[in-house]
């Protein structure tokens, strides 16, 4: 994960310095709020299976390249059976992750842009087995890289790879892929 964060930070710094002299070509991207929703997928560490969840996010474009974004991803409960000396029993695990990040966008052409995000995440995993319940939470670095394709001036498709802090022992992994739609106001 450290290599991903270092690479992402170095790339953002290099791109930012290269774009510093660029005049703003599209004033429609300036100072605009946006919201979005995505379907996210992550591997469940507990049962070695992929699970889809939902993600909502909102942000504010400071200028053509920079934005601030916050989001929340929910990983639905995954039920599974555990076999032990006491017999079979039901168990579950579920989780959620939230983030706040700076976002740097690099327009590639009139409709396609690449972006990177770097910030902080808060992660929570809950589970239960028989009468025992557990709850784990942590904070960590958040990083993402993605592509955005503008369908109209206000509607875009987004796809990204995200990393929510350190690897998790239970529940959804820290590595998440998502695809969704974004609406710019």
More confident residue, 48 or 13: 48
More confident residue, 76 or 161: 161
Please report the DSSP string for 3-22 in residue order: HHHHHHHHHHHHHHHHHTTP
Give me the percent of the chain exceeding a pLDDT of 70: 65
Please report the DSSP string for 103-171 in residue order: EEEEE-SSSEEEEEEEEEEEEEEEEEETTEEEEEEEEEEEEEEEEEEESSSSEEEEEEEEEESSPPSSS
C-alpha 19/C-alpha 22 separation (Å) is 5
In the chain, what are the domains?
Answer: 2-20+31-184 (2.40.160.20)
Q: Which helix (H) or strand (E) holds 37?
A: strand 32-44
* Residues 134-150 pLDDT 10s: 788 889 899 999 999 99
> Which pLDDT does position 164 carry in this prediction?
85
């Amino acid at each position: 994960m450290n290599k991903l964060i270092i690479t992402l930070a170095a790339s953002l710094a290099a791109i930012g310095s290269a774009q510093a002299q660029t005049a703003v070509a599209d004033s429609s991207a300036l100072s605009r709020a946006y919201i979005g929703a995505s379907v996210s997928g992550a591997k469940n560490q507990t049962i070695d299976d992929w699970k889809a969840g939902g993600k909502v996010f909102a942000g504010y474009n400071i200028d053509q390249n920079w934005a601030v974004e916050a989001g929340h991803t929910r990983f639905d409960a995954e039920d599974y059976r555990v076999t032990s000396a006491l017999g079979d029993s039901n168990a579950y695990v579920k989780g959620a992750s939230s983030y706040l990040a700076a976002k740097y966008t690099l327009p590639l052409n009139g409709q396609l842009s690449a972006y990177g995000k770097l910030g902080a995440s808060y992660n929570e995993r809950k589970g239960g087995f028989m009468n025992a319940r557990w709850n784990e939470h942590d904070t960590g670095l958040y990083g993402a890289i993605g592509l955005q394709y503008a369908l109209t001036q206000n509607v875009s498709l987004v796809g990204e790879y995200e990393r929510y802090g350190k690897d998790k022992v239970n529940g959804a992994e820290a590595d998440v892929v998502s695809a969704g739609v974004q609406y710019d106001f």
